[in-house]
A and B are shown apart, each in its own frame.
Chain A
Amino acid sequence: MQTMAFTAPGSRRERFGELLEQHHRIVFKVAGSYARLATDRADLAQEIRAQLWRAFPGYDESRSFPTWMYRIALNVAISHLRDAERRDRHSLPLDESAHEAALVGGIDEPDERVRALEDFMARLDPLNRALLLLVLEERSYREIAEILGLSETNVATRISRLKQRIRNDTSFKG
């Protein structure tokens, strides 16, 4: 395995910064899918970046960076979600999405489909949520299989079930 070999810590940091900036959307999408509150999302995004940085010396540059990044981001997000469930067992969830839209200004009008997507994601268990995110990101079956640790056939079956579930379980005010 050819891991990232850098002579100076500075060059490693620079390379990491470049790659992270290039694929920064992955961090935001994963954090956005596993944490609904803005503060929690920021914490999770920070936790993902920290874990990516820690794991970076072991990154094999002959392999896809986004695949490596998804694995780490999803692993951190799933653990974060489980910890948050334990912490917040007695607190009521607060839907901040509409409020946030007003705060950041100029963001799209509240969209019923977005709300339906968020609700559907929130109802999924952490592993199926990871699968949905990767499908929506149009990742290939091979890549999804590699990220999740499943066979490609298994991925195909699950995706078809997930699409069926979307049809059965979700609706929006059209």
Chain B
Amino acid sequence: MDTTMEFDDMKAAWQTLDRRLEQQHALNLQLFRDSRADKARSGLRPLFWGQIAQIIFGVLMILLGVSTWSSQREVVGLFFSGIIVHVYGVLAIMFAGITLGMIQRLDYAAPVLTIQKQLARLRGFYIRSGMIIGLSWWLFWIPFVASLFAWLAGVDFYANMGAAIGWCIASGVVGLLGTWAFHRWAQRSGRTRLREAMDSNMTGSSLRKAQSILDEIRRFEEE
């Protein structure tokens, strides 16, 4: 016969569970003593090193950009390509710096709601900035290649490409819009496997997850 559970039943169950956990603790104690707590993995460590890598990448972009715009002031296309590459490098460093700052400010001893909100915001910012840095390559590759050629061989990429550069820009715009439209279509059309594959590539699901965590915290606060 099913009996309704009262809070006191739950407390009694909790005490039973407590005894069980205590017995397991005694068994696991030796394992704990043998391990060094400060060497345990940290979930945020890959994110930290990823941002350091992004800063190094940003610095390289700035060097390339500055080298191009400072040496190609007479060639308008190359001059602006250098500026774009420079700005891209600054943005990459800025986004990585903000993410690192958010990681450093995380204090796990803060109240649960505070820290969980900070973590969700960190995740959201990281994913959005990653999308800006990543998806911009649909068009960014053009000034990047132009700057790289100018730096390596002093070649004017645009002069060599002629009218084809227009097609490159058009295909970049189409690719960017197409990626966005295809992602929306996959999300709305109920194609689960396709959507999941795209999400894992574009971090769309992670972004939704970060948002859902923030919504969950908000609901909890408003309950």
Q: Is B truly associated with A?
A: yes
A residues neighboring B (CB under 8 Å): 24-25, 28-29, 32, 38, 42, 45-47, 49-55, 58-59, 68, 71-72, 74-76, 78-80, 82-83, 86, 100-101, 104, 106-108, 111, 113-114, 116-118, 120, 125-128, 130, 136, 146-150, 158, 161, 163, 166-167, 170-174
B5 touches A167 (CB 8 A): yes
For the residues of A in contact with B, the DSSP-based class is helix
Of the listed residues A54, A80, A82, the one surrounded by the most CB atoms of chain B closer than 10 A to its CB is A82
Q: Is B14 located at the chain interface by the 8 A CB criterion?
A: yes
- A58–B213 alpha-carbon span in the complex (Å): 27
B108 touches A55 (CB 8 A): yes
When C-beta atoms are compared, the residue in chain B nearest to A41 turns out to be B24
Instruction: Pick the residue among B4, B107, B114, B213 that contacts A149 (CB under 8 A).
Output: B114
B residues neighboring A (CB under 8 Å): 1-7, 9-14, 16-25, 27-28, 31-32, 35, 37-43, 107-116, 119, 206, 209, 213, 216-217, 220-221, 223
Q: Which residues of A contact B10 (CB under 8 A)?
A: 113, 116-117, 120, 136, 166, 170
Kindly provide the distance from the CB of A143 to the nearest chain B CB, expressed in whole angstroms.
Answer: 12
Taking A53-B38, A113-B10, A117-B13 as given, write out 20 further A-B residue pairs in contact, using a Cβ cutoff of 8 Å, ordered by the A residue number.
A25-B22, A28-B24, A51-B108, A54-B108, A58-B109, A59-B109, A68-B109, A75-B108, A78-B116, A104-B20, A107-B23, A111-B13, A113-B9, A113-B12, A147-B111, A149-B110, A150-B113, A170-B5, A172-B2, A172-B9
- A163–B7 alpha-carbon span in the complex (Å): 6
Q: How many A-B pairs fall under 8 Å by CB?
A: 167
Kindly provide the distance from the CB of A142 to the nearest chain B CB, expressed in whole angstroms.
Answer: 13
Instruction: Pick the residue among B13, B20, B43 that contacts A101 (CB under 8 A).
Output: B20
When C-beta atoms are compared, the residue in chain B nearest to A137 turns out to be B14
Kindly provide the distance from the CB of A27 to the nearest chain B CB, expressed in whole angstroms.
Answer: 9
Instruction: Pick the residue among A32, A53, A161, A167 that contacts B17 (CB under 8 A).
Output: A32
A127 touches B1 (CB 8 A): no
- A68–B213 alpha-carbon span in the complex (Å): 23
Instruction: Pick the residue among B1, B17, B113 that contacts A117 (CB under 8 A).
Output: B17
Kindly provide the distance from the CB of A139 to the nearest chain B CB, expressed in whole angstroms.
Answer: 13
When C-beta atoms are compared, the residue in chain A nearest to B205 turns out to be A86
Kindly provide the distance from the CB of B36 to the nearest chain A CB, expressed in whole angstroms.
Answer: 9
When C-beta atoms are compared, the residue in chain B nearest to A82 turns out to be B213
When C-beta atoms are compared, the residue in chain A nearest to B3 turns out to be A174
Kindly provide the distance from the CB of A166 to the nearest chain B CB, expressed in whole angstroms.
Answer: 6
